[in-house]
Chain A
Amino acid sequence: MTNDAVTARLHPLTALTAAACTAVITTAAASWPLSIAVALAAAVLAVRSGAARQVLAAAAVILVPLWLSLLVLHGLFFPEGHTVLAQWGPARVTAEGLGFALEVGTRTTACVLVLLLFSFTVSVPDLLAALAARNIPPQFGFVVASTLTLLPAVARRLDRIRQAQETRGMVVRGGLLARLGALRLQMVPLVLALMDDASSRAQALEARGFASPGPRSSYRDVADPPLQRRLRVAALVLTAAAVTARIVASWPAGGTA
């Protein structure tokens, strides 16, 4: 989660609102030139904020299989298509099918890039402090923060368990049964250790009044300039307008074609 001058000046909720509203408006607009423009803008912003490598790597893992799947699915099999470009047996390449794949693919690409740009540039502690200051239950912040810090720790722990079991003779090789056996040797100690940790963490939290109701004071104060507040309201109004326009334009007229 990198931080630079631009994102540091941006209140986390402003960034979240901007990302979510962009994604929703792109979905509502349903035009591939706009989707491509949004995706390019997100990529440029990612480069400028220094998070380009993380954002693009994470996006590639998600988008490459999706695009391949969309092209195979709609490029070859699109029974609704009329303009046949090529045909091999049951597979027909239709202009409509390719158009549909392009529309949906660019839309998903734009949304994924925008949301990843947000999650890789936001400062998670700032985001949680901002959410807690707005009456979001503190349990939500605990779950999010705890998971994000637990993930790397568990990956390290799993590595240690694997090494320990390998010194005792576990070999991850061979047939399915051997692999499942090796899996059991790693899973059970991991789950046992994590559950044990959790119950001692519960006692520590309980002793510090975690479950007690009432307001919480925060040590972290995130500046929220009035300009950004107005910006958020404007973004939300714009999004509501886009969604309303889409719903009015294509409300399914029941039966009347």
Chain B
Amino acid sequence: MSQPALTVTTPGQAADRGRRLLEIAGAAAIAATYIFLVLTQPADIANGPASFSALVALGGFLLGAVLLIAAVLPVLPTSTLVLIPVALVLNVVLGQLMGSTGLPFYIDAIGTVLIAVLAGPAAGAATGALSSIVWSFFNPTVLPFAAGAALIGFLAGMAARAGLFRRFYFAPVAGFITGILAGVVSAPIAAFVFGGTSGLGTGAIVSAFRAMGDTLLAAITKQALISDPMDKAIVFTIAALLAYALPRRTTFQFPFVRRFRVLAGKAPSAPDA
């Protein structure tokens, strides 16, 4: 079972450094875009839609997401790579299943978080970004949120590495913090590209903040701070419970799970059997 991970061709030192640089460049593009957008946000949107900010947000965030994918995807072991389509499908299907329970959350990242827990932050970030790209075949409005989705996968992987998924009660805490960061990063996209949120419920919350005189970006950021942490806390909890439900034979085949002792418990006595 652990064979595929071992047969990955180890790239040379230079190629390795190149990928590391690509990863850093991708993260830097996302961070720089966010800072630029907040600093230069149009003071008076009555002069027309923020076309300039929309272009900067689209360009910067998509560039960051593409750089992250280009850095991570070619070096993922096959055992992780085949899980990415599964994760994307789970994002969609489990999101729809959760919708059938009538809970007011959009729960669309369960697969991404599950991959991040099993295969680490890099795989999680790539899965998040790819999920947005593939899903945009059916709904182009998710494409601009690729950077936020990558951030969710990355932070979930970091939380797993720090051992926050060993106990089920730490997972929602990690999800809550991830939701705060991801919500804040995604707010400029909602504000400048779409001029608001796509749901009526979230739209009502934004309206309330607008009625108090907030700028559009501030109102959407506050709305994201209300909805996203709860949403991600639920997603992280579900992903943790799914990871616990998987047999140890499956979870311990991932080097990331073995190396950082992501899930509590010991490895099966003969992992190569």
Contact = CB atoms under 8 A, between A and B. Distances in A.
Given A73-B203, A77-B210, A211-B9, A143 B134 contact: yes
B255 interface: no
A244 to B, nearest CB: 10
B129 to A, nearest CB: 11
A6 interface: no
B55 A76 contact: no
A149 B54 CA distance: 33
Interface string B48-88: 11011011001100000000011001101111011111101
A243 B56 CA distance: 10
Given A195-B250, A211-B77, A73 B55 contact: no
Nearest to A77: B210
A88 to B, nearest CB: 12
Nearest to B247: A192
A116 B49 CA distance: 23
Interface stretch (A7-15, A43-51, A180-188, A228-236): A180-188
Chain A contact patch, size range: 35 or more
Contacts of B84: 143, 147
A191 B90 contact: yes
B101 A176 contact: yes
Interface stretch (B20-28, B135-143, B149-157): B135-143
A65 interface: yes
Given A103-B48, A180-B101, A191-B246, A139 B7 contact: no
A105 B196 CA distance: 10
B204 interface: yes
B89 A147 contact: yes
A155 B96 CA distance: 11
Nearest to A145: B85
A27 B140 contact: no
Contacts of B73: 137, 139-140, 143
10 contacts: A70-B196, A70-B203, A103-B195, A119-B138, A139-B81, A148-B137, A176-B103, A191-B90, A199-B1, A206-B7
Interface of B: 1, 3-4, 7-9, 40, 42, 44-46, 48-49, 51-52, 54-55, 58-59, 69-70, 73-74, 76-79, 81-86, 88-90, 92-94, 97-98, 100-103, 114, 130, 133-134, 136-141, 143, 193-200, 202-204, 206-207, 210-211, 213-214, 238, 241-242, 245-247, 250, 253
